[in-house]
Amino acid sequence: MDILVFGHNGQVATELRARSGIGAGRGVQITALDRAAADLTDPAACAQAIAGHKPDAVINAAAYTAVDKAEDDEATAHAINADAPAAMARACADLGVPFVSISTDYVFSGDGTTPWQPTDPTDPKGAYGRTKLAGEQAIMAAGGTAAILRTSWVVSAHGNNFVKTMLRLGAERDALTIVADQIGGPTGAAEIAEACLTIAQTLKTEPNKAGVYHFAGGPDTSWADFARAIFEQAGLSCAVTDIPSSDYPTPATRPLNSRMDCSATTTTFGIARPDWQASLKDILKDLNT
């Protein structure tokens, strides 16, 4: 199966590239597009890339993820997170091939304590969430076979993420203060990549399974407790003190509730919710090799 991926050096795109060829017995061939091959601020170029490659499926693993910067640059975020995926989805619909696009829990309000269902009302509180929601809506309106996979707290051995930041700070300091009232599921980029491939391959033969799905690591935890687990697994003696989000103000509001109900993903595709402790172990192993 020939799969075209938008994104190249991002966390999930890197994991997808690693699965090209025999990739865990999948037999998929991944072509990952960097900025030179597909400018995400140019939706027409994205559509042309799909038309030119004529792949069996497309995965959009690219996004404008600078949550705070998006507050002052919503136009660029909208171009990348909404206009580009819309063009991709229409191009896939024209070719009759499945399209899988990664989205985020930021499309919700972040209120309450109940895990978010894919069918729950959306209510983004910032520019990043608004642009990702606009992308979701445009994808579903394109009329093709498409799946949106919302995820949260993405971590890996690649790029910039919470695990790598904690490892750096934990080695430099004896103690840290970490936000403890934001609750969610840390999710390994490797597991997201596997989920995207499973969904793309399934949609090729079962297009009726198109729709919106959730995928996040479990069990739910706080950033502070996640940091403690990182230090414990890495053998770092760095003490963590819990603080509320109000003690760490940011330009963009972070959701307090990032819990996600992933049961529909398991029922529909047979994809179990990943254990983030196991994902963390794999990430640390990758970083030490």
**Residue 128 annotated in active site:** yes
5 within 8 A of 59, measured Cβ to Cβ: yes
Q: Give the DSSP per-residue string, 105-166.
A: GGGS---SSSPBPTTSPP---SHHHHHHHHHHHHHHHT-SSEEEEEE-SEE-SSSS-HHHHH
Backbone angles phi, psi at 185, to 5 degrees: -120, 110
Q: Which of 106, 128, 213, 248 is catalytic?
A: 128
Angle between helices 276-287 and 162-172 (to 10 degrees): 60
Q: How far apart are CA 108 and CA 51, in angstroms?
A: 33
Would you name the residues annotated as active-site residues?
128
